Amino acid sequence: MKLIMAIIKPFKLDEVREALSALGVQGMTVTEVKGYGRQKGHTEIYRGAEYAVSFLPKLKIEVAVKTEVADAVIEAITSKAKTGQIGDGKIFVTALAQVVRIRTGETDGDAL
Partner 1 sequence: MKGNIVKKLSLMGLAGAGTLMASAGCAFAAATPKIDSGDTAWMLTSSALVLLMTIPGLALFYGGMVRKKNVLATMAQSFGATALITVLWMVAGYSLAFKGSNPFFGDLSYFFLKPLGLTAVSGTIPESVFMFFQMTFAIITPALICGALADRMKFSAFMWFMGLWLIFVYCPIAHWVWGGGWLMTAGALDFAGGSVVHLNAGTAALVTCLVLGPRIGYGTENMAPHNLALSIIGASRLWEGWFGFNAGSAVTSGFNAGMAAAATQIATAAAAVSWAAVEWIINKKPSVLGMISGALAGLVAITPASGFVDPTGALIIGLAAGAVCYTSAVWVKKWLGYDDSLDAWGVHGVGGALGAILTGVLASNAINSSAHGWLYDGNIHQMVIQLEDVGATFVYSGIVSFIILKLIDVTIGLRVSPEVEVEGLDINLHGEIVR
Candidates 16-24, 28-36, 46-54, 71-79 — which segment interacts with partner 1 by CB under 8 A? 46-54
Of 110, 12, 1, 112, give the one whose Cα is nearest residue 61.
12
Give me the least distance between CB of 31 and partner 1, in Å please. Answer: 16
Q: At what angle do helices 13-22 and 67-81 cross, to 10 degrees?
A: 150
49 binds partner 1 (CB under 8 A): yes
44 binds partner 1 (CB under 8 A): yes
Interacting residues with partner 1 (CB under 8 A): 44-49, 51, 53
